[in-house]
Amino acid sequence: MHQPATITLLAVLASCALAAPTPAVALAKRSFKVPVAPRIGLYRSPRQEIQRTYAKFGWEIITFDPSVLEGLLGGGDSAPSSGGDGGSASSSSAAAVASSSATTTATSPVMPAASATADYQGAAAPATTVASGAVGEVTATPESNESEYLEPVTIGGQTLNLDFDTGSSDLWVFSSSLSASESSGHTTYDPSTSSSFSEYQGGSWSISYGDGSSASGTVGFDKVNIGGATVNKQCVELAERISGSFVSDTNNDGLVGLAFSSINTVKPQKQSTFFENVLDSLAQPVFTANLEDNSSGTYTFGEIDSTQYSGDIHFTPIDKSQGFWQFDSSTYSVGGKTQQCTTCSPAIADTGTSLILVDDDVAQNYYAQVPSAKMDQQQGGYVYDCAAQLPTFGIAIGDYIATLTGQQVTFANLGDGTCFGGVQGNQGQGLQIYGDMLLKNFFAVFDAGNESFGIATKA
């Protein structure tokens, strides 16, 4: 899940356009499903969730207690403690810097129309082809606290557990070039054992986070299979140097980005995502996420399965100019009382983030209704008595208010009688992140054809 989307939240992006596809041979349209299995795996603390989300988006970590900043950046896990009134504010840059990016005006992504047999070519890159195939399934494993949902992905005949992330646009993996200490606990991809691998001559990628985590390496193309759908020459980024929180997340062998390719980090030519490469072979240019808490769920590509939701799907237009599934969300509700927020930041739907991060005044207004709630600087967010009766919380998806029960708001029990909320403030970062705390409670639709995001009640 760790993948910087931009140098800053203003999405300073390299403006390298993707080449147009060659004519396609018409084949039958299709769809495929990626089932999500019951979760297993490591426990990630609330503080680690705050840290990794801020690092992912290049956000600055702000605290009123300088003594806790080092712990937040270091990713260590200390005993829960209550925050107190601090002194003067301090900050440390957690800017995620994609070294492949330049400070330029953001450009809209180009969506390649690669069909089941279409050739697609980026500058100096091998042609990308999408093979036809039957509907298939692959199991995905959500980690504890829904830190991330992992899916087996086959690359050149080798299977790795990767994170589906609608908040980034790279497919990168742990590679066999890593040292034993860097790759310990991970499955690595070895291009030398794949007969279908080809190197992207001169291709590279490099990311670094303010928390000290970094990853970089070379780029190639290989046959990638997800759920029975195969891209014969999908761009794969090979981590050859890696450090920090990437190494410690032993459940995760890499990432499949499902945002838009304008924020892909490959140099010298940005590359298409797996979804973009299969887009024209799908019956519908959509994918859906039906994630669950402690149960099974499904990613579906190419159709909206009416058996997975009830009632209407509530859509809102997206603005993909920053590379995200981004939309306006200017209304929220607390305890059933709707409040307009004309100054609220835009929001993104991000399956690669666990928490819901809203503008600070929205979070403050919510927790003001919880008498025991307080900001805990050690945990990095609001905590409260686990016995507290929390009000409902709703956020706008278009004209629809997607509402969580008070019980659904809680992210984690800290073990000392206090709980950590799944709704937290974004410390004025200018973007609201609607992660799995929202998405696992609704049926979500990512519609590339109509450039919209939708949500519905689960069936």
Active site residues: 165, 350
- How many Cβ atoms from other residues are within 10 Å of residue 377's Cβ? 23
**What distance in Å separates the CA atoms of residue 392 and residue 358, rounded to the nearest whole number?**
15
| Cβ-count burial 242-262 (b if 16+ within 10 Å, e if not) | bbbbbbebebbbbbbbbbbbb
In this structure, what DSSP letter does residue 278 have? H
Cβ neighbours of residue 122 closer than 8 Å, sequence gap 6 or more: 18, 19, 128, 269, 270, 271, 272
In this structure, what DSSP letter does residue 282 have? B
Query: How distant, in Å, are the alpha carbons of 36, 108, 285 from that of 277?
Result: 22, 17, 11
Do 441 and 408 touch, CB atoms closer than 8 A?
A: yes
Cβ neighbours of residue 331 closer than 8 Å, sequence gap 6 or more: 338, 339, 340, 341, 395, 396, 401
| Cβ-count burial 264-289 (b if 16+ within 10 Å, e if not) | bbbbebbbbbbbbbbbbbbebbbbbb
Q: Which two tokens stand for residue 420?
A: 């950590």
Do 205 and 116 touch, CB atoms closer than 8 A?
A: no
- Residue type (1 letter), 337: K
Q: What backbone torsions phi and psi does residue 49 show, to the nearest 5 degrees?
A: -65, -45
